[in-house]
Amino acid sequence: MSQQHSAAPAPNSAVSAVEGRPDWWRDAVIYQVYPRSFADGNGDGMGDLEGVRTRLPYLRDLGVDAVWLSPFYASPQADAGYDVADYRAVDPMFGTLLDADALIREAHALGLRIIVDLVPNHSSDQYEWFKRALAEGPGSPSRDRYHFRPGKGKNGELPPNDWESIFGGPAWTRVTEPDGTPGEWYLHLFAPEQPDFNWEHPAVGDEFRSILRFWLDMGVDGFRIDVAHGMVKAEGLPDLGDHEQLTLLGNDVMPFFDQDGVHDIYREWRLVLDEYSGDRIFVAEAWTPTVERTANYVRPDELHQAFNFQYLATHWDAAELRTVVNRTLDAMRPVGAPATWVLSNHDVTRHATRFANPAGLGTQIRLAGDREVGLRRARAATLLMLALPGSAYVYQGEELGLPDVVDLPDEVRQDPAYFRGAGQDGFRDGCRVPIPWTRTGPSYGFGDGGSWLPQPADWGGLSVEAQTGEPGSTLELYRAALAVRRERADLGAGDAVEWLRAPEGVLAFRRGEFVCVANTTGESVPMPAYGRVLLASGEITEAAGEAKVPADTTVWWSAS
């Protein structure tokens, strides 16, 4: 693994900052770039930082405020970079630290902020500390930085407890000791190549505060914290017992997830971040049982935002959506944090496919479904999301209305969850297929070469080129929506909505002069015309003060 520390651009107070409101993040629209699938600068079939840099003007013109980059650090890629072997180096497949520096500077010059991913729950098994822990053997202090335990059973042949990996199979792997004998086991909540750190060990905290500073000195505007709910494990690593782990996940506090101790870590991190100028932020990837527990992560002295996975998991159903919106706003208000809204990311079925699937199928399972219905609902869901108070996340390609690719052949699959059986995060390659930029050409403009996952034959028709300037295209809908959101303070601001009376299956709310109506039913519904139509995800007809809102359509009105 390359060590690039010496090549790091000097910590640079001259890194340009982005001018703007100090609380820019409270209503920011943040675009997730999954670097391997966004744009390929060197034509090797794999996206890279150079590719991202050259596409920054596209993101500026789209109208987003910030870009969150999934990991691009040195990594053996056992979990697409969420297995980090060197937290201060860029993997050669993505470029160099100089490319990262250029990317941050250019983004800032365009008024875009950069948020990087931080992976503190686990390292790669190729991280220096883990290699040393294996080499130095049982009882060595280097083992204390991870969770090594003797096995159960007569000869230690059984795992130390009954926890399962999120990717399937036991959460423990037995090592062969330096003398060649079968030895201790180590904990990995994800793949065996991702050993969990022991956050009780002070060196772990010291190391991560130093990593934070490294990237803050590079000029990043914030961090998305991977598995932010996982670092602290319950004392003694207790068995789950009779409970079925899969049914508990996401519904209960687990001995390895959402333990109260994680909050001490965030209070320390916040002190580090606040030493830096420029209104930088933390956002938590914390899968908690309730939005009320999510709110604990964004108390005033902890993190700034946390992804709203309860919203992501909600079906296209007015009553369910209204409940989750109310609950979210009610949970965030007391801690003074903005709500966040997210529909897609690199771990779940893209919402254009999810909303075509029968309700109850969950966020991981992919069926082709009716694409037309899925896209109609996805567009309507996006306008609804962008009308809510708080910050919104957009996953690359959703602005093109991309569906999940549901028919990838087994031999091209890379998601470790695919190979370990159905876990929480199953079969994620389908939302990671490189995105199309042009109608034709090698990999539809993703790069000059191929594409690390095959793109479907109809990708060109969904490309940026095909949709640009095309009235009614999903890309133009996103551009228009983000332009309206920039012009009008009343969309993302505040912490409440005023619900209006609406027929069953329809959501209607007012925020000052602004009214949003979302029809989640399969039928057109009559609604009062609330003023001037600002934008709609489908065709609205108005007559005599009444508007017909078609099936699966959202409309924005301005009363003035």
| CA dist., res. 512 & res. 497, Å (int) | 9
What does the DSSP 8-state code read for residue 158?
B
Burial class (CB in 10 A: 0-12, 13-18, 19+), 124: buried
| Catalytic (active site) residue 275 | yes
Query: Given the rule CB under 6 A, which residues bind ligand NOJ?
Result: 79, 82, 119, 190, 226-227, 285, 346-347, 425
Give the nearer residue to ligand NOJ in terms of CB position, either 414 or 438.
Answer: 414
Give the nearer residue to ligand NOJ in terms of CB position, either 226 or 404.
Answer: 226
Pairing of strands 182-187, 172-176: antiparallel
Q: Which residue is nearest to ligand NOJ (CB)?
A: 82
Give the nearer residue to ligand NOJ in terms of CB position, either 346 or 351.
Answer: 346
Number of H helices, E strands in the chain: 15, 21
The one catalytic residue among 50, 226, 258, 552: 226
Residues 6 or more apart in contact with residue 242 via CB below 8 angstroms: none
**Sign, CA torsion 43/44/47/49:** negative
Burial class (CB in 10 A: 0-12, 13-18, 19+), 514: buried
Closest listed residue to residue 169, CA positions, set 413, 408, 398, 422: 422
Give the nearer residue to ligand NOJ in terms of CB position, either 140 or 364.
Answer: 364
Give the nearer residue to ligand NOJ in terms of CB position, either 198 or 520.
Answer: 198
DSSP strand E in 210-294: where? 222-225, 281-284
Burial class (CB in 10 A: 0-12, 13-18, 19+), 37: buried
The one catalytic residue among 242, 244, 275, 487: 275
Within 10 angstroms of residue 162's Cβ, the number of other Cβ atoms is 17
Q: Which residue has the tokens 């009008």?
A: 488
Closest listed residue to residue 73, CA positions, set 95, 50, 106: 95
What does the DSSP 8-state code read for residue 328?
H
From the CB of 425, what's the least distance to ligand NOJ, in Å?
6
Give the nearer residue to ligand NOJ in terms of CB position, either 219 or 230.
Answer: 230
From the CB of 413, what's the least distance to ligand NOJ, in Å?
14
| Catalytic (active site) residue 65 | no
Pairing of strands 498-499, 506-511: antiparallel
Which strands sit side by side in the sheet containing 148-149, from one edge to the other?
148-149, 182-187, 172-176
From the CB of 345, what's the least distance to ligand NOJ, in Å?
7
| CA dist., res. 291 & res. 296, Å (int) | 9
Q: Which residues are catalytic?
A: 226, 275
